[in-house]
Structure 1
Amino acid sequence: MKFWFSKAAALAAMSLWLLAGCTGNAGGSGSAGSAASSPSTPTSASSPSNPASASNLSAESGPKLKVVATFYPMVEFSKQVGGAYAEVIGLIPPGVEPHDWEPSAKDMIQLKEADVFVYNGMVEGWAEKALNSVPNEKRTVVEASKGIELMQGLPEEEEEEGHAHHESSEESIMDPHVWLDPALAQKEVASIQAAFEKADPAHKEAYKKNAEAYITQLKQLDESFRTELKQVKRKEFVTQHAAFGYLAKQYGLTQIPIAGLSPEQEPSPEKMADIVNFAKEKQVRTIFFETLVDPKVANTIAKEIGAKTDVLNPIEGLTEEDKQKNLDYIGIMKNNLASMKKALNE
């Protein structure tokens, strides 16, 4: 176990002991003080994506389900399901790449006090140890990707050491990026819905209504991808890291990643040469990069083959620009679709 983890657990235990006299788990209410103190805390206000959530704003005031979610897709899906009945707190701040993020003592306290903890799985290599360090018998835990048929990482990715994803000598690294496939995102939303209903059965019908409304939008998004990518001229696309395997498989495309499952992984010179040769052979005219990682490698390859670059967003966190444009998961996915359609028809 890393030093950070034992230190964070010790600090969390001390903080909980000091706070025991004046605060505690609200049992579904969520402390307004703890929410306000977190810079990454989303509010429980509805998103434009979900009219059902908006309708719940007229619901009676009262204790809310305190939900702690890890990174942006989990936060957004939780907000869409919870509507006005849930206070959703995001652990990983906006603009931070989640693959190698680690919780602080303050984050451990949030986790301890949560009624529901939502995580994707595999991205959050720290989650299981963190949950065991701050036990809470009343807390409902949902691993949103559980039950989804996962894809394996590429061979060169499995050799990477020190990666944040689960790995062992007997087990291949699995690709965690299921949220980038709108069809699989629906399954993650359904898992979150089930967890909310278990933790707060009094508002079961509201959670069901909210989830159904959002899943309807995800189905429409899925159909847009299916229809608009069906007749593209080329099927291969080059992207900064291997985040789009599920999306590619769903819509009959081939992802050519520069790096592996970790966006910080540097490709070998041999891998760079292979990508350049492939791009030249296939006359690739766009190299995709992403928002939270330095695009220097993508820029290098694009310059080498005389191509341009464009954003293909893995939606691992919102940037300031995303927030200024009022973009959410569905909005960014629509932008991804437009970029892919353009590049694949060049």
Structure 2
Amino acid sequence: MKKTCLRSLGLVALVMVTACGNNQGADEDNELLLIKTSIFPYEDWTKAIGGDFVNVENIVPTGADAHTYEPTPQEMIEVAEADLFIYNGAELEPFADSILSAIENQSVHVLEGSAQTHLIESDHDHEHDHDEHTHVSPIVEEGDTEIKGLQDHYHSGDSVTLSVEDDSEWVWYTRTDNEGWEQASEEPSTSFTLPADQDNLQVKAIQYDEEDTVISTSDTVLILIDDHDDHHHGDQDPHVWLDPIRSIEIAQSIRDTLTELLPEQEDYFNENFQTLEAQFHELDEAFVDLVETSQGDRFIVSHAGYGYWQQRYGLKQIGIAGISPTSEPSQTELIQTVETAQELGLRYVFFEPNITPRVAEIVQDHLEAEALLIHPLEALTEEDKENNEDYFSLMYQNVNALEKALN
């Protein structure tokens, strides 16, 4: 029924858009670009970069959720009259396809945010939320030391850089399934870089003393290569704006698109982008400091939308619901969530301001845990607007809340 409604909505909007004729584009007098966005971060960044030369409006209203929102035909017409439509993609917004179909023949530039960077895989299997190694390649054999820097998968030609926390120097080895270990590093070092040109390659590091006696052995990890298209199938985590470093890549694309539309303001847009980029790096440093100074590294949250913090910083989420806040776990998965939280001694449960699944409240009651607020930033609340919150103020609130939960 929902798909039928969306198709009907797109058809009605398409007819109405066509009847309206071509969009007016930027105001010729003041060169003001009309821009529509689908989520708050893109609205906020576009305003920061575009400054005096943009009029930015977010389609999803205050207090709503991009996962479930359906725009009206009038809103779709307004998108068709804009100069630029910025949406996230990666199946975050079910309405995106209808809008794209409706504006296909209009002179509207389109920017898909998630397509500007590399996405990580989402957790389809709820049990994986409790796995210590979610979002990293499999551990073939556990050792004395954990290997850092491993991604969930690589593409052919990628550069794989692994490291160990220990400041001592290690000798690195590789092998395939049916071969013996071969020394891969010419000199001992704390890090090792190799090309992603062989699937299912195993890697480990060994530390020796002066007499070549083994002191310590790292985990043996598996390098996985997956050359499927990251941006057009539904097994990717769409919440990419929560990663400050990936956000820089998206903001760069916003700057470049604005420059394409108003090339005479290139210096202005670039200067604003550089200010924004510095703020992203400061936020990244705040997350790094959080991890380095916190006692724990796991948190329990109402829905598993925070995988990018795990991939970037090692902050491991236990998601009560799946990648979408509207999904609910089975009874078995719910029991596993409670048991895992009890085993780890977690005494805080994070809830999101716009949507709080009923099951999250059940988990909170069973754990007798304190509730903390975590903000997904897809859309503002009325309170956020009253307080003039922006992307960075809300992200720093998340950092402060995590600091409390992890300590």
TM-score normalised over the length of structure 1: 0.81
Paired AA for residue 223 in structure 1: E
Corresponding residue for 1:293?
Answer: 355
Whether 1:79 and 2:47 are equivalent positions in the alignment is: yes
Whether 1:103 and 2:71 are equivalent positions in the alignment is: yes
Corresponding residue for 1:26?
Answer: 24
Query: Alignment identity in percent?
Result: 32
Q: Structure 1, residues 122-145: CA drift from partner, whole Å, max 9, x if none?
A: 212332342233224532211112
**Is the deviation greater in 118-127 or in 283-292?**
118-127
Provide the rounded CA distance (Å) in 2 between the counterparts of 1:157 and 1:286. Answer: 20
Paired AA for residue 248 in structure 1: Q
Whether 1:264 and 2:326 are equivalent positions in the alignment is: yes
Whether 1:212 and 2:274 are equivalent positions in the alignment is: yes
Provide the rounded CA distance (Å) in 1 between the counterparts of 2:249 and 2:19. Answer: 40
Q: Structure 1, residues 248-304: CA drift from partner, whole Å, max 9, x if none?
A: 221122111011111011111111111110111010010111011125322221221
Corresponding residue for 1:45?
Answer: none
Provide the rounded CA distance (Å) in 2 between the counterparts of 1:117 and 1:88. Answer: 10
Corresponding residue for 1:195?
Answer: 257
Contact residue 157 and residue 261 of structure 1 kept, 8 A: no
Corresponding residue for 1:183?
Answer: 245
Provide the rounded CA distance (Å) in 2 between the counterparts of 1:323 and 1:190. Answer: 26
Corresponding residue for 2:380?
Answer: 318
> What SS does the corresponding residue of 1:99 show, helix, strand or coil?
coil
User: Which residue among 82, 93, 106 is the counterpart of 1:124?
Assistant: 93
Provide the rounded CA distance (Å) in 1 between the counterparts of 2:398 and 2:88. Answer: 21
Q: What is the aligned-residue RMSD (CA, Å)?
A: 2.3
Contact residue 126 and residue 329 of structure 2 kept, 8 A: no
Gaps of 5+ in 2: 128-231
Whether 1:233 and 2:295 are equivalent positions in the alignment is: yes
Contact residue 152 and residue 172 of structure 1 kept, 8 A: no
Provide the rounded CA distance (Å) in 1 between the counterparts of 2:18 and 2:99. Answer: 17
Provide the rounded CA distance (Å) in 1 between the counterparts of 2:383 and 2:39. Answer: 17
Provide the rounded CA distance (Å) in 1 between the counterparts of 2:329 and 2:75. Answer: 33
Corresponding residue for 1:133?
Answer: 102
Deviation at 1:317, TM superposition (A): 0.8
Provide the rounded CA distance (Å) in 2 between the counterparts of 1:70 and 1:183. Answer: 20
- CA spacing shift, 1:221–1:178, aligned 2, 3 Å: same
Provide the rounded CA distance (Å) in 2 between the counterparts of 1:196 and 1:137. Answer: 18
**Match runs of 1:34-73 below 5 Å:** 62-73=30-41
Corresponding residue for 1:88?
Answer: 56
Provide the rounded CA distance (Å) in 2 between the counterparts of 1:14 and 1:101. Answer: 21
Provide the rounded CA distance (Å) in 2 between the counterparts of 1:7 and 1:155. Answer: 30
Paired AA for residue 374 in structure 2: L
Provide the rounded CA distance (Å) in 2 between the counterparts of 1:29 and 1:5. Answer: 32
Higher Rg of the two aligned structures: 2
Provide the rounded CA distance (Å) in 2 between the counterparts of 1:75 and 1:214. Answer: 13
Q: Structure 1, residues 213-267: CA drift from partner, whole Å, max 9, x if none?
A: 1111111111111112212111111111111100122112211101111101111
- CA spacing shift, 1:17–1:243, aligned 2, 3 Å: closer
- CA spacing shift, 1:138–1:18, aligned 2, 3 Å: closer
TM-score normalised over the length of structure 2: 0.70
Paired AA for residue 335 in structure 2: A
Q: Structure 1, residues 141-184: CA drift from partner, whole Å, max 9, x if none?
A: 111121422111223379xxxxxxxxxxx955110001111111
Provide the rounded CA distance (Å) in 2 between the counterparts of 1:69 and 1:136. Answer: 19
Deviation at 1:14, TM superposition (A): 4.7
Which protein has the bigger helix share? 1
> What SS does the corresponding residue of 2:34 show, helix, strand or coil?
strand
